[in-house]
Chain A
Amino acid sequence: MLDTAKTRWHPIAASSDLPFRHVFHAQLLGREFAVWRADDGYVNAWENRCLHRGVRLSIGINDGRELKCQYHGWRYSNRTAGCTYIPAHPADAPARTITNRTYPAVERYGLVWSAEEPVDEVPAVSGLAEGDLLVLRGIPLNAPADLVADRLKDYRFQPSGRLDGAEADVTVEAAGAFSAALCSRDGDAATLAVFFVQPVDSGRSVIRGVLDSRLEGAERLAVLRHHNELLSKLRDTLERDAAQMPAPAPIEPVIERVSPELAEMPEATPHGRKAAIRVQVARKWAAADGIAGFELRPIKGLLPTFQPGAHIDVHMPNGLIRQYSIVNGPGESDSFGIGVKLERDSAGGSSCMHETVREGDVLAISEPRNNFPLRRDAVKTIFVAGGIGITPLIAMAQALKNQDLAFDLHYFAQNEAQLAFPERTGTLGMALKPHLGLSPEQTGAKLREILSGYRPDTHLYLCGPGPMLEAARTIAAELGWPETAVHFEYFKNTKVIDDSSSFEVALARSCMTLTVPAGRTILDVVREAGVDMPSSCEQGACGTCLATVIEGEPDHQDVYLNDAEKRSGTKIMTCVSRAKSARLVLDL
């Protein structure tokens, strides 16, 4: 009987089956896998179907950072398999819970190992030294793995140094349900061959052989040929014998159902102001004059999937919480990079990051949230960054660059030394356009030049200091840019918040009516009543605590919504905005 335990590690591919940007179609115990190596070396083993419409991901495109489904262009991140972009809805950030099923993948002895629910590590094989091995060609055959493993014990071959002989003495050093280790000795020559049998399905297998010493050139070819001939003969007899036996029932892999919220139109999922992830500062460096770069690595497990434009909350040792954009390019999923500018009038956030936090420190961060999503259906995209406002735009520019989409990144700074993350902006080539040392008037003139000649299907993304954003938005409006094409993110809300009003808030879905007194926010009152609400910056800049207004007139005090959105009166940032009417009805 074939042992179909899901806890057992099996080889599913040879390392050489994963050449540059290939996607390999593997199968184990009836289940198909799409196996691919990202440019950073990470080996991904995923269930071989796109969650959207079930198309095999093994026919997808490995761009080195992400895997793109052939059917609708959905993109899935290296490591996490989380969906980062759905082209049919370019203005939406996909719910980060759209994640393909992943399996462990470990490279050992020149093979890629996996299991559905592995226990312990990939077994160590005595006599095989990593790096000094010769991996034989995988031999697929139509025979059950238990039969194949049993017959391999009778496999007879010559040691690598004595192929011309015929007198070798072969002993079985070890044998298991899916493996056999054989040693062939002839005179003073000896070779250990370890065979692993991959159970592809109930009636199909692959013999994966590994020899104990690396060879080069003609000698290598001769040894490979020797085993290829002998194993091919073994295959012929095994297949003949297997054909005489009753065919075993195929193994039906269970396809897991997607979560209930994904079955309907997905809604945003993050809640509260939580910092569930612990990261270590793996590296802290001067990303530019006055800007510290931080590389944050997870203490355990994988970081969640992020999209370009996303930010995280960083909970600092001094108790403050600040938002920083992730600067990573697509598929860079082993750590999050952020940039922190030392503010002269720091309330303690940036100075804590600059002065207190050191390499090796552990910080709590939130899941990435994307309230500044990047459309990728523009004919041309223009990014305008002022100072540290470069951070979300670097992530966006790298994403467009990876997809060969047209963009310019205009980067305004005082001088060359203040241009942050040169190792990242340097990869953007001519698309990077620094503008250094301009006065406010000169900046305005430059923006006029950049934004002149608006054409349909062009999108503008702005991030920088408040006065610069105000100027850029005004100029864009004057030059005919529609509000829907102008996207912006403020660092902070510098408006003085007037919280003197008092009003009633009715929560339509929760069937509650609450009173918001002067001095308190809608967000506070709603949370106190037990309704879960996500939030992040809590000053009307980041967009996380957005709610839909069903009735009543909002008193907008945020810098997240654009003017058209504010005029429409259908959305409100609950952390700072209030009501002009006596009553607001919210879709909560």
Chain B
Amino acid sequence: MTQPKCQDPVILNLWHPLAAVSETPAGVVAETVLLEERIGYAVDGAGIGAAWRSRRDLPAGSSIDVAAVADTLPAKIAYGYIWTSLGNPPDDLFPIPEYAEADRRRLNAATMGVNVSAPRAIENFLDMGHFPYVHTDILGAEPHTEVKEYDVEISVDRDEILATRCRFFQPMASTVSTGGADVDYVYRVPHPYCSVLYKSSPVDEARLDVIAIFLQPVDQEHVRAHMMLCVLDDENEDKVIKRFQQTIFGQDKPILENQFPKRLPLDPRAETPIRADKSAIAYRRWLSQKGVTYGVIPAAS
């Protein structure tokens, strides 16, 4: 048994995403990096995946019988991605019940490399205050900059952070609206490196679009960000829906890569929070309570 490079048991025992199944050719070995280790993986056409610590007898690009690979890591196919773990993961991944609804479009909007720690990227995903400045005229516009009061709780039984009653002014709330309006958001952080966002659907006001970010920690200061969409939209082509999300994330990337330090500081006195950062404060506390050390700068005890 090789000693893993990552020494954080919390992170080692989690499921981590490797790639979108839709972008992985069936029966062919692919390679990626997870927690500073090279990982080989493959999927077959029938919903089975396998992952292993990269080895010479299974070079990238070679054909493989997925069901027959020996000496593998835990593997799981969920929400359109292949997941693995370098430790002892729980049986189940966190639930996203909406993923099973038949009338939804399920897409990997993009997989993008970002030079930042996973927790910094999660905080950015939870943040509404930057909409008018980073996503100008898309998710927000000056002068509508206020982050209204919202609620945050750490759900003990589900072990996740939940931010509700979030509203933010969006200049073109949907393709059918003529002006701006407040859009409702709900944020979940069910995994230290994953977050799920629910947002008013422009098509059906009774339902919510689901956008999730699954971060694959390449090392402490680099991630591959997998963006999953599970939306109500039967008009637009895949590429149109994807391009929108890629634009948004492309705007966040340079900001994230200019955050210093790249790892998320958990010392409450490292940075200056405001009320709008309630969800980020809860997230930092939650990581501290879990004892996460990978991708963060732990608070001095």
Question: A residues engaging B (CB < 8 A)?
Answer: 32, 48-49, 51-56, 59, 70-73, 86-91, 98, 255, 257-260, 262-266, 376-379, 405, 457
- Known A73-B142, A258-B270, A265-B275; 4 more pairs at CB < 8 Å: A53-B259, A59-B255, A257-B270, A377-B146
In the complex formed, the residue of B with least CB distance to A58 is B258
Question: Closest CB of chain A to B98's CB: distance in Å?
Answer: 29
Identify the interface centre among A51, A71, A266, A378: most chain B CB within 10 Å of its CB: A71
> Which residue in B145, B258, B265, B272 is a CB contact (below 8 Å) of A55?
B258
Asked whether, in the complex, the Cβ of A55 is within 8 Å of the Cβ of B271, the reply is: no
Question: Closest CB of chain B to A61's CB: distance in Å?
Answer: 10
Asked whether, in the complex, the Cβ of B270 is within 8 Å of the Cβ of A87, the reply is: no
Give the residues in chain A near B129, CB-CB below 8 Å: 72, 87-88
> Which residue in B133, B144, B269, B274 is a CB contact (below 8 Å) of A260?
B269
- The secondary-structure label for the interface of chain B is loop
Asked whether, in the complex, the Cβ of A88 is within 8 Å of the Cβ of B147, the reply is: yes
> Which residue in B133, B259, B260, B275 is a CB contact (below 8 Å) of A89?
B275
Asked whether, in the complex, the Cβ of A71 is within 8 Å of the Cβ of B134, the reply is: yes
> Given A71-B255, A88-B276, is A377 in contact with B145 using a C-beta cutoff of 8 Å?
yes
> Which residue in B133, B145, B273 is a CB contact (below 8 Å) of A71?
B133
In the complex formed, the residue of B with least CB distance to A53 is B271
Q: How far is the CA of A265 from the CA of B133 in the complex (A)?
A: 23
Q: How far is the CA of A384 from the CA of B90 in the complex (A)?
A: 64
Asked whether, in the complex, the Cβ of B254 is within 8 Å of the Cβ of A59, the reply is: yes
Q: How far is the CA of A257 from the CA of B146 in the complex (A)?
A: 27
Tell whether B40 is near chain A: CB-to-CB under 8 Å: no
Give the residues in chain B near A265, CB-CB below 8 Å: 273-275
Interface size on B, residues (CB 8 A): 29
Give the residues in chain B near A87, CB-CB below 8 Å: 129, 132-133, 142, 145-146
Give the residues in chain A near B261, CB-CB below 8 Å: 54, 255
> Given A73-B133, A89-B274, is A54 in contact with B145 using a C-beta cutoff of 8 Å?
no
Give the residues in chain B near A54, CB-CB below 8 Å: 259-261, 265, 271
Asked whether, in the complex, the Cβ of B145 is within 8 Å of the Cβ of A73, the reply is: yes
Can you report 8 A-B residue pairs in the complex whose CB atoms are below 8 A from each other?
A52-B272, A56-B259, A56-B260, A70-B133, A87-B146, A262-B269, A265-B274, A376-B143
Give the residues in chain A near B147, CB-CB below 8 Å: 88-89
Asked whether, in the complex, the Cβ of B133 is within 8 Å of the Cβ of A257, the reply is: no
Identify the interface centre among A48, A49, A51, A53: most chain B CB within 10 Å of its CB: A53
Asked whether, in the complex, the Cβ of B258 is within 8 Å of the Cβ of A378, the reply is: no
Asked whether, in the complex, the Cβ of A257 is within 8 Å of the Cβ of B145, the reply is: no
Question: Closest CB of chain A to B131's CB: distance in Å?
Answer: 10
Q: How far is the CA of A257 from the CA of B268 in the complex (A)?
A: 9
Question: Closest CB of chain B to A263's CB: distance in Å?
Answer: 4
In the complex formed, the residue of A with least CB distance to B300 is A257
Asked whether, in the complex, the Cβ of A377 is within 8 Å of the Cβ of B133, the reply is: no
Q: How far is the CA of A175 from the CA of B217 in the complex (A)?
A: 49
Give the residues in chain B near A91, CB-CB below 8 Å: 146
Question: Closest CB of chain B to A58's CB: distance in Å?
Answer: 8
Q: How far is the CA of A71 from the CA of B128 in the complex (A)?
A: 11
| Leading 5 A-B pairs by shortest Cβ distance | A87-B145, A88-B276, A88-B129, A257-B269, A88-B147
Q: How far is the CA of A248 from the CA of B58 in the complex (A)?
A: 39
> Which residue in B145, B270, B273 is a CB contact (below 8 Å) of A255?
B270
Question: Closest CB of chain A to B273's CB: distance in Å?
Answer: 7
Identify the interface centre among B143, B147, B259, B268: most chain A CB within 10 Å of its CB: B143
Q: How far is the CA of A325 from the CA of B276 in the complex (A)?
A: 30
Tell whether B242 is near chain A: CB-to-CB under 8 Å: no
Q: How far is the CA of A56 from the CA of B254 in the complex (A)?
A: 11
Asked whether, in the complex, the Cβ of B272 is within 8 Å of the Cβ of A262, the reply is: yes
Q: How far is the CA of A399 from the CA of B259 in the complex (A)?
A: 28
Tell whether B267 is near chain A: CB-to-CB under 8 Å: yes
Asked whether, in the complex, the Cβ of A90 is within 8 Å of the Cβ of B146, the reply is: yes
Question: Closest CB of chain B to A482's CB: distance in Å?
Answer: 16
Question: Closest CB of chain A to B285's CB: distance in Å?
Answer: 12
Chain B 138-159, CB-CB to A under 8 Å as 1, else 0, gives 0000111111000000000000
> Given A70-B134, A255-B270, is A88 in contact with B145 using a C-beta cutoff of 8 Å?
yes
Asked whether, in the complex, the Cβ of A376 is within 8 Å of the Cβ of B270, the reply is: no
In the complex formed, the residue of A with least CB distance to B297 is A255
Give the residues in chain A near B123, CB-CB below 8 Å: 53
Q: How far is the CA of A91 from the CA of B147 in the complex (A)?
A: 11
Asked whether, in the complex, the Cβ of A378 is within 8 Å of the Cβ of B143, the reply is: yes
In the complex formed, the residue of B with least CB distance to A90 is B146
Q: How far is the CA of A73 from the CA of B268 in the complex (A)?
A: 22
Question: Closest CB of chain B to A94's CB: distance in Å?
Answer: 8
Tell whether B130 is near chain A: CB-to-CB under 8 Å: yes
Asked whether, in the complex, the Cβ of B143 is within 8 Å of the Cβ of A52, the reply is: no
Question: Closest CB of chain B to A303's CB: distance in Å?
Answer: 22
- The A-contacting residues of B in range 244-270, CB under 8 angstroms, are 254-255, 258-261, 265, 267-270
> Given A32-B260, A73-B132, A89-B276, is A51 in contact with B146 using a C-beta cutoff of 8 Å?
no
In the complex formed, the residue of B with least CB distance to A379 is B143
Give the residues in chain B near A405, CB-CB below 8 Å: 142-143
Q: How far is the CA of A323 from the CA of B274 in the complex (A)?
A: 30
> Given A88-B276, A258-B272, A263-B269, is A377 in contact with B144 using a C-beta cutoff of 8 Å?
yes
Question: Closest CB of chain A to B129's CB: distance in Å?
Answer: 4
Give the residues in chain A near B144, CB-CB below 8 Å: 377, 457
Question: Closest CB of chain A to B165's CB: distance in Å?
Answer: 16
Give the residues in chain B near A378, CB-CB below 8 Å: 143
Asked whether, in the complex, the Cβ of A376 is within 8 Å of the Cβ of B145, the reply is: yes
In the complex formed, the residue of B with least CB distance to A404 is B142
